[in-house]
Amino acid sequence: MCDKIMVKNARIVHISTVRSLSDVRLFHLECCSLVKAGYSVSLIIHDDSGKLDIEGVSIKSIGKPHPLSLKLRLRYRLRAILRAARSAMSVPAKIYHLHDPELIPVGHWLRLFTGAKIVYDCREDYINYIKIRPGLRKKERLILVTIMKVLEWSAAKFFDAIVTADQGTAANYQKLRAPMITTLYNFPRLDRFPKIKCVDDNNGKIYDLVYFGSISSYYLNVAFGIASEIKKRGRKATWLYFGNIEELDWARSEIGKRGLEDFFTFEGYIQHDQVAAKLRTCKIGIVHLPDLPKFRNNISQKLFEFMAMGMPVVLSDLPGNRQFVKKSYAILVPPDDYKTYADAIIYLLDNHLQRKQMGFAGRQHIEREYNWEKEFPKLQSLYSNLSPIPYHCLPSGRGLPGHGR
């Protein structure tokens, strides 16, 4: 009986009109972990699989996303927001957890008409992203920045809690005097990156460097500059990119112009549970963020996933990353400094023992502190503060992941 009461009182609805089920933070970290912890979780999202339940998460589809021109996309996204709002009203919940800034007006509406608690998950510095987003005219950029400032102010003033993925974004909301702020880092789930019995980067390695996920021209421009510098020195380093490569035709054209065809391999998106196997084919993880305002607060999820795979990491020396990096498992490089990047990469490629030692040290840090099993209780604690649930009502055998084992 207590199980049923707990599930009823702890219904959580996560909503996104921008992200998909492949989003690691939204689905694999937050929603799936909440289900394991005994919550009843619904996810309102774009999905065309036809499935009503995935890993215990109840899926409420708002249709299939469409890549359209900016004006048509804005019109389509407005319709998606309205569908998400209607769907949310059909799923009574104690807490609605929003994942996109465009859903902030929906949050105000839900708060007014349902009395539920509203959580806004802000994982990026959206204002600075708008300032560098390609394809916008100056006037459009100014309008969008103004709208975003108003939305973020209203979320800070009226929502019950703000969740961020880094301390820099949290500081922005502290300035806005948000009442409850929780920083939830995107550390990897240990079950998706199982313990490596032996860190041996010469066994089955095909590529020297790897990066994956959503890949824009920002990353590729830096990579092409580094690869060109390595080529100047009479060396070669093979790069693997897999995921959503936004400007693939341009990328192929660019490597052709630079004579780097043999350096780069581009592959498409793969499921999250297959990422670890793909990373095993690579020697070094690279996080080559350019020095742009958008990236100064961001903490790269890839850093921790590379560490979980026992891989040394070369990454940009930016404030968000710096607090988590130690020389024992990563090399920090000044952003956009192609020569120093090349120095670090060549050094690691020429020193197998150093790669192995750094990879082992990184994995040790993941197991001890930088993992989702240790991070997730922050989210559960936040929910408990917003909508208290007696601890004795947690289902037997289904405590917090990583606890009570």
CATH number, domain with residue 62 = 3.40.50.2000
In a domain, residue 196? The reply is: no
- CA distances in angstroms from 162 to 23, 118, 260, 382, listed in the order given: 19, 9, 44, 10
pLDDT digits (tens, 9 = 90+) for 162-181: 999 999 899 999 999 998 99
Is 74 in the same domain as 178?
Answer: yes
Sheet with 161-164, side-by-side order of all strands: 53-54, 57-61, 41-45, 12-15, 95-98, 117-122, 161-164, 181-183
Is 151 in the same domain as 220?
Answer: no
Is 38 in the same domain as 183?
Answer: yes
Virtual CA dihedral for 270, 272, 274, 276, nearest 10 degrees?
A: 120
Distance in angstroms (rounded) separating the CA atoms of residues 40 and 295? 35
What's the rounded mean pLDDT across residues 358-375? 95
In a domain, residue 397? The reply is: no
What's the rounded mean pLDDT across residues 183-212? 85
Residue 341 sits at φ, ψ, to 5 deg, of -60, -45
Residue 267 sits at φ, ψ, to 5 deg, of -130, 160
Higher pLDDT, residue 198 or 336:
336
Whether the pLDDT of residue 48 is over 90: the answer is no
Is 54 in the same domain as 157?
Answer: yes
Q: Please, are residues 291 and 321 in contact by the beta-carbon 8 Å criterion?
A: no
Is 52 in the same domain as 143?
Answer: yes
CB atoms within 10 A of CB 139: 8
Whether the pLDDT of residue 403 is over 50: the answer is no
In a domain, residue 45? The reply is: yes
H-type helices in 44-135, by residue range? 70-89, 104-114, 126-132
Whether the pLDDT of residue 397 is over 80: the answer is no
Is 22 in the same domain as 149?
Answer: yes
In a domain, residue 202? The reply is: no
Is 254 in the same domain as 362?
Answer: yes
Distance in angstroms (rounded) separating the CA atoms of residues 231 and 236? 6
In a domain, residue 285? The reply is: yes
Residue 259 sits at φ, ψ, to 5 deg, of 70, 40
Is 335 in the same domain as 385?
Answer: no
The amino acid at 55: E
Distance in angstroms (rounded) separating the CA atoms of residues 210 and 264? 10
Q: Which of 144-153, 234-243, 297-306 has the lowest mean pLDDT?
A: 297-306
- CA distances in angstroms from 128 to 94, 164, 169, 296, listed in the order given: 33, 16, 11, 10
Q: Which two tokens stand for residue 7?
A: 């599930």
Is 267 in the same domain as 351?
Answer: yes
DSSP 8-state class, residue 194: P
In a domain, residue 403? The reply is: no
Domain that holds residue 97: 2-187+372-392
Query: Where residue 198 falls among pLDDT bands split at 50, 70, 90?
Result: low
Is 218 in the same domain as 330?
Answer: yes
Is 230 in the same domain as 275?
Answer: yes
Distance in angstroms (rounded) separating the CA atoms of residues 15 and 17? 7
Which residues neighbour 157 within 8 Å (Cβ) at sequence distance 6 or greater?
176, 177, 178
Q: What integer best gives the mean pLDDT of the chain?
A: 88
In a domain, residue 276? The reply is: yes
DSSP 8-state class, residue 387: S
Number of domains in the chain: 2
In a domain, residue 197? The reply is: no
- Please state whether the predicted TM-score (pTM) of the whole model is above 0.85: yes
Q: What per-residue confidence (pLDDT) applies to 402?
A: 42
Query: Where residue 66 falls among pLDDT bands split at 50, 70, 90?
Result: low
Is 27 in the same domain as 146?
Answer: yes
* Strand duo 207-215 + 239-245: pairing: parallel
